[in-house]
Amino acid sequence: MSGQQSLIDMPIDAAPPLRREAAEQGKAAPVSATAWYVLGVLCLINMVGYMDRMGLAILLQSIKVDLSLSDQQLGLLSGLAFALFYCTMGIPLARLADRSSRVRLLSACLALWSVMTAVSGFARSFPQLFLARVGVGVGEAGCIPPAHSIISDYFPPDRRTFAVGIFQAGAAVGTSIGMIVIGLLGERLGWRAALQIVGLAGVPLALLAVMTMKEPARRDPPAAARLATFPAIATLLRRPALVHLLIGISLAGMTAGALGQWIPTFLIRSFGMSMAQAGVSLGLVNVVAGVIGMVGGGFIAMRLMGRDLRWELWLPAMATLMAAPMYIFAMLSGSAWIVLAVKVPVNFLISSANAVGMGAVHSFAGSSERALAISLVLFMTTFVGMGVGPYVIGWLSDAFAPSMGKESLRYALLVISVTMPWAAVHFYLAARRSHIDRRS
């Protein structure tokens, strides 16, 4: 008890306890083959989820023309329709994951969002497509929290950030494949067939997951899981490091959401690229920069955390701060190829910040709190990054259109750059409190 008191009484910037903990983590047991297999399946599930979620972005211009929609309506479809129910259902599903079988929950949700993606292709009006996207959001709300909780129980703390980076790389691959495959399918078969084909591809994976993945034992007693939802949330929010981390990831997610949802339309409108050209170009950029950023960021964090555990927070701060001027330069460029070239380091940095930041969340929650902690982060990142962000950009684009014409979207996207240095401040503040609030 005296050791705990002395730790709390230390100055916020004190580093020795964090370095001692980092050294102790080097004694962790090796990771089993089962753990790597489960991580591989989870990575595939994340890939399919992002294909279904982000693939819509490459089809927005075709949907706009076919259904005669405004940019505000496109912003609602690509953002709020998904985000509202993703956020609403995320927390109760996370509590269910903390109390029951995470594997069965994840498999059921995968089947649901896959079917609803296919249903999106049958929509004949804005309300119908909006409701179908709501269904996708409800299904995907049950993916990330249980997946992170499973990873945390299969991998020891010193390997966790790297494992989360690999899992997050599935998102980058899924986004890339979604851009490329859905772009090609959309150009050849139309946007409806593209959504139907890609949606149904997730159903076999749901069967594979529920039949072959083993539910891991939880690493610590499930006392937190017995708490009611709101007291459990209050417990997490009393940890300032976690709160700052949540805000930092959310602000960085706003930039990622803007890039993911609107850059394809920006390239098509401002530079005359075809749907297939935009999809293939962006897909290649995302898969190279995104995967290297997420896996590389997790690996670098794993190495540096052996010296000081605060590197899992310092790295996202540095990455978001460096990305801001590059993003501004890309948005002001007059060449599509410069936009794509600069998007490589921007994607690398934002992907690194996201992967390492999400891995850091595990450090501030116990095993029976982690699904809930991840759901809180996803609530904010989805509401801000995929809900409010895309809608505000669509609204700004419509507002700028009378004076700026087709370039209105460029300047709407430029506004979002302010979120990156703001995110860096919160990552830094989380690091200052991390030795007090750390749980593992």
As a whole number of angstroms, the longest Cα–Cα distance in the chain is 69
* Percent of the chain scoring above 70 in pLDDT: 89
pLDDT of 12: 37
* Gap between the Cα atoms of 382 and 389, Å rounded: 9
* Gap between the Cα atoms of 199 and 83, Å rounded: 18
* Gap between the Cα atoms of 311 and 358, Å rounded: 13
Q: Lowest-confidence range among 53-57, 159-163, 183-187?
A: 53-57
Q: Say yes or no to pLDDT of 350 above 90.
A: no
* Gap between the Cα atoms of 16 and 12, Å rounded: 11
CA 387 to chain centre: 13
pLDDT of 286: 76
Q: How many CA atoms lie within 13 A of 268 on its CB side?
A: 22
Selected residue with higher pLDDT from 44 and 26: 44
- Cβ–Cβ contacts within 10 Å for residue 25, how many? 18
* Gap between the Cα atoms of 43 and 199, Å rounded: 17
* Gap between the Cα atoms of 219 and 365, Å rounded: 12
Beta carbons of 291 and 355 less than 8 angstroms apart: no
Token readout for 411 is 């300047």
* Gap between the Cα atoms of 24 and 45, Å rounded: 33
What lies within 8 Å, CB to CB, of 339 at 6+ separation is 263, 266, 267, 271, 330, 331, 333
Q: If 0-12 CB within 10 Å is exposed, 13-18 middle and 19+ buried, where does residue 387 land?
A: buried
pLDDT of 222: 52
pLDDT of 29: 56
Q: How many CA atoms lie within 13 A of 247 on its CB side?
A: 16
Q: What is the pLDDT of residues 238-291, one digit of tens each?
A: 888 899 998 998 888 777 777 777 888 888 888 988 877 887 888 788 778 878
Q: What is the mean pLDDT of residues 47-62?
A: 80
Q: Say yes or no to pLDDT of 186 above 50.
A: yes
Q: What is the mean pLDDT of residues 349-359?
A: 85
Q: pLDDT class for 16, splitting at 50, 70, 90?
A: very low
Beta carbons of 251 and 385 less than 8 angstroms apart: no
pLDDT of 2: 42
Position of tokens 């405004």?
70
* Gap between the Cα atoms of 355 and 339, Å rounded: 23
Selected residue with higher pLDDT from 3 and 138: 138
pLDDT of 230: 76
Q: What is the pLDDT of residues 418-430, one digit of tens each?
A: 888 999 999 999 9
Q: Label residue 65 left, alpha or beta by phi (over 0 means left) and psi (-120 to 50 means alpha).
A: alpha
Q: What is the mean pLDDT of residues 32-60?
A: 85
Token readout for 77 is 């479809």
| Straight-line distance from the first to the last Cα atom of the chain, in angstroms, rounded to the nearest whole number | 18
pLDDT of 204: 92
- Domains of the chain by start residue, with CATH: 32-216+228-437 (1.20.1250.20)
Position of tokens 């969002």?
113
Selected residue with higher pLDDT from 415 and 208: 208
Question: Among residues 246, 268, 326, which one has the least CA distance to residue 71?
Answer: 268
Q: What share of the chain is helix, strand, coil (3-state, %, to 5)?
A: 85, 0, 15
Q: Say yes or no to pLDDT of 227 above 70.
A: no
pLDDT of 31: 78
Q: What is the pLDDT of residues 104-156, one digit of tens each?
A: 999 999 999 899 989 988 988 899 998 888 888 888 888 888 888 888 888 88
Q: What is the mean pLDDT of residues 303-313?
A: 85
What's the mean per-residue pLDDT of the chain? 81
Q: What is the mean pLDDT of residues 337-354?
A: 89
